[in-house]
Structures are given as structure tokens and as C-alpha cells.
Amino acid sequence: MDHLLTMLFASFTRSSVLREIEASMAGFARKLERLGVNHLPKRSTLSDANNKRDASVFEAIYHQCYSHLRHLLPDSYPKNEKWMEKLFIVDSTTITLFKEILKACGNAAANGRKKGGVKIHIGMHLSESVPSMACITSAATSDTKFMPRFKNMPADTILVFDKAYVNYGLYNHWSNTQVKFVTRLHGHSKVEVQEELSVDREQQKNGVYRAQIVQLGHSQQKDKVKCRLIYFYDKDKNRVLKFLTNDFSMSLSKIAEIYKQRWQIEMLFKRLKQNLQLSDFVGDNENAIRIQIWTNLIADLLLTIIKKGVKRKMAYSNIAALVRIHLLSFVKLNDLLLKPGDKRIYNNNSYGTQLSLYSNTSP
């Protein structure tokens, strides 16, 4: 528990150096005792723990927290957009490391040196905005290696993923199990046009100017895929996007709108990198890096739930900043976030009292 709390402290406060973590926590020694931290971590102790304690422990803690707190996650979407409830988005992000720990993509620099890289693969329900599936690999690992993890999705799920995820066998499996997918056409795909589809004026106004029924796969390929190919003109960026789907009934413009929702997972990556500690790592080995990533995912889960519980619109970054400043202050988070200028919220509670996350009454 001490190890988890120490790494969460580092994540929330964005501490990136072992000495900084040690000194910062020493200043809160009395308050940390109230959390059950009886032994303040030394740099060497924390370094050894990050090196030797299996990162799968932190992975298991994340999934336990997710299962336990899932009912508190955001679940709102427009009443007339029930399809959003079914969306499951898959993507990955890469973080460059300070030394060659995990294999990175590309060639070495001109001086012969090559930094490592870590890739975080994530699958999440659009309505929740936090990962329900996650996998940490080297940056050089293909995205397709993550695909078997979401092979057996519930019927009527709509999977949304980028063109890097290519697996024709899985495409057919999803069609056979009533799972829909929306992706982009990979540039190297072999496409055989079977039928041209009509596009009405309303669809054209929404950016769709052409649609076809196609078969993917070359002549000798066992797994061929029948799907719709939709051409969409993005006027904002002046580019053409080609969408593939095994859904033959949904409107063409709706398919484009579904793929647009993939941006929400990019927002997840953005907030992780900007508000928590994913730019600098406190350990120089693979296990320590994995532990820090899982800790950040736990911290993000907690911040997302806090944001949902606040009865006013507040930016995630503002909530993260206030939590960082008042991390070990004995104040009610809900009061702090709703009435930050009210001095009474700092005086209403006795020192050391454990407070409820949302309750407006004293425990």
C-alpha cells in the first residue's frame, strides 16, 4: 500500500525525481500517517520497489478500481444518439523514453544513439472515457498485436479504430457475431469494387460524396471481407477520408460521425500527458515505467470520477490542478471545487478526519 500511495502522490503532484518525491512526502509525514503510511519512502527503497515489484500488481489494482467504481463514471449522451452507448474505441499512443529501454520505432539518430519508446494500447467505451482494456508494450510493437484482446465483444458493439489495425480474420469474426466496426481504409489494402451505391443530396451535404460495396483481399487470400467503402470529404482539413464498415444499414453520414468519435480517445491521451506524470519517469527500467503508467491510469480514473461528481462544469485540468495543490489538505473535495473562495470549508473539519468524496455533510 505504501508503494501505491507513494506513486499516486508522485502522479498527482507531477513529481519526476526520486529526491523530490522523498522530500515532498517528508513534509506531510503527520498527514500521511492518517492514510496508513507509517514509513516514509527513501529514494533507494522506492527505486528498488519500482525495479523489483511486478508491474502486474498495479495493473490488477487498476482493473479492480475500474470494476468497483465503474458505476460512477460519466454515462451521458444525447437522448437521440443511443448509438453512442455502443461505441468502443481502440487506439494507442507512443511516449519517447530517455534511453533505450524498450525498442522504439525508426532508425537511430545521426550520432548512433537511439532512445527507447513505450506504447500504450487502450480500448474504452465512449460513454466512460477511461480505459476498460489497456496494454503496455515497446513502441515498435504493432498495433495489430492488441486486437485479439477485443475479439469477443458483445453483440451490437460498434468498434472504432484507426487504419493501423488490420486483421481480415477478425473483421469476418465480428460480422458473424453481430459486432459492427468502423475504420479507415489502409493504403496497401487490395480492394475489389462489387457495387456502386447511390448517395443522396442530404448525404452529400454532410460530406459523403461516394459509396461502394467492396471486397477486401487479394485473389489467393483465404479471409476476404465484404464491407461498405465510404468516401468522405473533410472540408475543414481539405482531405478525403475513406471509411470501411461491415454495417450495411446505417446511414453513410452516420458512419462518418461514428469515426469522428475516435477523437475522444485522443483526448484521453492528451489529458494523461498534460495533467499527470507521463513525460518524465522516475525509474530507468522497464518495470518502473510500467508501474508509473498504471499508476497514472489509476489517478486519471479517480480524477474522472471527481469531475463527474462536481455539480458544475469544470475543466479536467482545473480539477487536476486543485487536487494537486490540496492533495493532503483535510477539506471536502466537493466543497473545495464548488466554493474554492469560501474560507469556512477549511475550518469545518477536525484535523485528520477522513472525508467523504462527495458528501456535503460531516462524516
Tens digits of residue pLDDT in 197-229: 999 999 999 999 999 999 998 777 778 899 999
Give the residue carrying C-alpha cell 524498450.
102
**In the prediction, which pLDDT does 110 show?**
45
Q: What is the pLDDT of residue 111?
A: 46
Is the pLDDT score of 138 beyond 90? no
pLDDT at 346: 58
Q: What is the pLDDT of residue 341?
A: 66
Give 129-162 as a DSSP string: -SEEEEEEEETTS-GGGGGGGGSSPPTT-EEEE-
Q: Quick one: pLDDT band at residue 24, thresholds 50, 70, 90?
A: confident
Average model confidence (pLDDT) across the chain: 84
Q: 72-86, 129-143, 228-242, 262-276: which has the minimum mean pLDDT?
A: 72-86
List the single range of 264-268, 320-324, 327-331, 344-348 with lowest mean pLDDT.
Answer: 344-348
Q: Rounded distance, CA 202 to CA 204, Å?
A: 5
- pLDDT on residue 57: 94
**pLDDT category of residue 152 using cuts at 50, 70 and 90:** very high
pLDDT at 337: 74
pLDDT tops 90 at residue 279: no
pLDDT at 357: 45
pLDDT score recorded for residue 352: 45
Q: How would residue 344 be classed by pLDDT, with cut points 50, 70 and 90?
A: low
Q: What are the tens digits of pLDDT across the range 328-337? A: 777 777 777 7
Kindly tell me if the per-residue pLDDT of 11 is higher than 60. yes
The per-residue pLDDT for 179 is 96
112 confidence band (pLDDT: 50, 70, 90): very low
Better-predicted residue by pLDDT, 113 or 219? 219
Model confidence at 280: pLDDT above 60: yes
For residue 333, what pLDDT is reported?
75
State the average pLDDT over residues 114-142. Answer: 88
Q: Is the pLDDT of residue 74 over 70?
A: yes
Instruction: Tell me which of 354 and 347 has the higher pLDDT.
Output: 347
**Over 50: is that where the pLDDT of 314 sits?**
yes
pLDDT recorded at residue 326: 80
Which pairing describes strands 158-161 and 180-184: parallel, antiparallel, or unpaired? Answer: parallel
4-18, 82-96, 288-302 — which one is most confidently predicted on average? 288-302
Query: In the predicted model, what is the mean pLDDT of residues 7-20?
Result: 88
pLDDT of residue 37: 76
Higher pLDDT, 4 or 34: 4
pLDDT > 70 fraction of the chain, expressed in percent and rounded: 87
Q: Say if residue 255's pLDDT is above 70.
A: yes
Predicted local distance difference test score (pLDDT) of residue 154: 94
